[in-house]
Structure 1
């Protein structure tokens, strides 16, 4: 009798699960889930500096400093190989639907069936995507509208410094084009200002920093998502974790942020599945380049030292109008870690996925992520004073100081630990 009741419960569970899966149509979802960890489109999370700029009476901006992640790229060679192999699963899904075993909607199947392969995705691995180029151009264009008068940068004192990676250089070039000033040039790289990758990528699969991610992939949370995906597709082929990662990458890389056009590959996943896969990205970045890795913040010290010096010079009337660093996703993680920003009270782990976590890479480190600080000279009661405005992804970063506005003394307190890059880092809390 107990066995019969147990089997009945299991049967009811699968019936309701199948109903839930079959009732989800991706193509007409009012608000498609578009948070893909560090592959999140910039337009999915950005603000607009033209609307969000903080204006204080009797204050004028005298110097701008920013650090910018590269825009959208094509996948790296290793991911591209897996994605190309995973495309064959499309035929299995379509066949499964025709046999009545797949839970995808008819339109989702049509969109997947008619999806055209972009050969550039596999032929131009790691290169800057046209969308990434436009992201960087648009960021600069919006900044210019707010902070620069026509031709103001011509002959001005400035610095634009990218890392040596070609997709970062291409991002920097697009940014300069967005400023639309004559003859702007990037700095030639010197070893002093190039970033050193602290991670040995050859040992990637077995290194200590990957353990928490692997632990999550055998958790009930992940295994439930894997089971949902398998049943949703209804294919005989047993999906591996590598297959799911490749299908997820197809979803991410073919999602257009510029025109908010969802990818048909995302229809393979429910919203809950995408949240599980997003969390894998959070764990990976936390333990590779964030708080879960000892001394991960070391590479962020050089640009942060330059920030303090730049604004000190600007106060003395010798500063640059704009300073911009261009880098990769991992350096953004390290900058946040060096500053103590977005640090959860307890480490994020495979066994404790907090929905309201601060370390959420979709929000803090999307494609083209950026932090911009603006030094303002203010004249209150005929005396000069200085304030620094903080922005992240074109929204005021209000948790640094009240309203995102720091007095000069508050600013120095935050960044003075970086005045000597060989000293021990002190941090300031930002949730």
Structure 2
């Protein structure tokens, strides 16, 4: 109960920000990029449509907080040797030294959901059910509630915990959660990246990611940590990354404890070090899925076709009330680019971090654990409207003539989608149109 109250209060603090994504936060030392706790990004805007009849909700959800990957766990093994060899003149307190000496990696199975991930998905479902009771009735009905998940256990588990709280009178088992097909390119983003050969520049030395890794900011962070621990040799980036992974995974594993006593490896970083590491995360995901990617918004093209089809069907025959998709970071990033969200006029680069403190592409707020993008089709005074919520923050959508709206008329939103689809259909020679040559179906 105490944890629930704490998270509710912290979520309210985040929601008071007037911009999206927020430009600052009451807790600057826990902005961990794509492994940020959900409450940091959580808004409080789901009640914005109280006067509207809700026709359909179309949601894309990232799984909840998970264990580290196998690669991260392997990388963190180096910390067992480092903690034994911290210099006697390390510039840390005796408490910090002891915390590092006592550290053990508590991670278990590869990338599986942990308790905090379960809690976040349950609470998110409860807030949606409370705000949209006509959609989340007590009984789950597969004819009107369409659910799809990736095949990964963490996504399926997230779906189960969400659905059990969204529909409290229905017991839902993991084996009954439908998984998307391999050729469902609306959701299987890796399939599209493979088709587009997105990975061909993975080791490009001219990429902004590699430039930042070899630049002054990251060198300074590595030197800072080396000097702080008075280590007998200079750390490399892999060592520092292992410390960072231990820091952010340990923090999100037990948020309430971490807020009272900082996890061991978080103690080796200054605020500037953490900001450097966060910015690197932003560069990585922007280059992979965002506006620095040649294929950025194209990856969301099949999904936008499905959203359009789903809302059109709901307007003519309002049978399906909810479309709920449970997946990964890769499912959320294309929702931002296809809708034109989190776009910075100044391109993120390796050498302009100091000028980008108010950047919109900030992964900590866009894509933390349990991140979500929810599109809502509603009706008011016999007119249809569309609103978009990112992590429960309602967002401004740019429509025709650079006008913006939070609650947009369907005709305006539909035109935005049609223009997007038309743009990519005109590039037919490059990617076989908006659908990449695949058949896009209703959910």
Q: Which TM bucket (shorter chain)?
A: 0.7 to 0.9
Between the aligned partners of 2:71 and 2:305, the Cα distance in structure 1 is 35
What stretches of structure 1 of length at least 5 have no aligned partner?
1-29
- CA displacement 1:108-150 (0-9 Å, x = unmatched): 23333333431xx1x4112222222222222112111111255
Structure (1 or 2) with the larger CA radius of gyration: 1
CA distance in 1 between partners of 2:270 and 2:333 (Å): 28
Q: What SS does the corresponding residue of 1:323 show, helix, strand or coil? A: strand
Q: 1-side partners of 2:386 and 2:77: how far apart?
A: 47
Following the alignment from structure 1 to structure 2, what is the Cα–Cα distance between the partners of residues 328 and 45? 17
Are 2:174 and 1:189 equivalent residues in the alignment?
A: no
- Counterpart contact for 2:341–2:397, Cα < 8 Å: no
The alignment status of 1:337 with 2:322, answered yes or no, reads no
The CA deviation at 1:285 is 0.8
**Which one of the candidate residues 31, 38, 49 is aligned to 1:35?**
31
Give the CA deviation at 1:203: 6.7
2:250 equivalent to 1:259? no
Evaluate the alpha carbon distance shift between residue 203 and residue 67 of structure 1 in structure 2; reply closer, same or farther with a 3 A threshold: closer
- Structure 1 residue 79: Cα displacement: 1.5
Using the size of structure 1 for normalisation, the TM-score is 0.80
Count of residue pairs brought into register by the alignment = 383
Q: Conserved in 2, the CA contact under 8 Å of 1:303 and 1:325?
A: no
> Structure 2 vs 1, CA of residues 211 and 158 (structure 1 numbering), >3 Å: closer, same or farther?
same
Offset of residue 174 of structure 1: 2.1
Contact 2:335 2:373 in 1 (8 A): no
TM-score w.r.t. the length of structure 2 is 0.78
Instruction: Provide, for residues 367-408 of structure 1, a one-character-per-residue CA deviation record: whole Å limited to 9, x for no partner.
Output: 1111112221112xxxx1112222110121135575621111
Partner of 1:105: 93
Shift of 1:420: 7.5
- Change beyond 3 A, Cα 1:317–1:419: farther
- State the Cα RMSD in Å: 2.9
Residue in 2 that maps onto 1:394 = 392
1:136 matched to 2:121: yes
Report the counterpart of residue 153 of structure 2 in structure 1. 166
Match of 2:411 in 1: 409
Could you tell me how far 1:217 is from its partner in structure 2?
1.7
The alpha carbon displacement at 1:332 in A equals 1.6
Q: Where does residue 299 of structure 2 map in the other structure?
A: 299
Partner of 2:310: 310
| Matched-pair contact (CA < 8 Å) for 1:300–1:338 | yes
1:176 match:
163
1:230 aligned residue (226, 229, 241):
226
CA deviation after TM superposition for structure 1 residue 165, in Å: 2.5
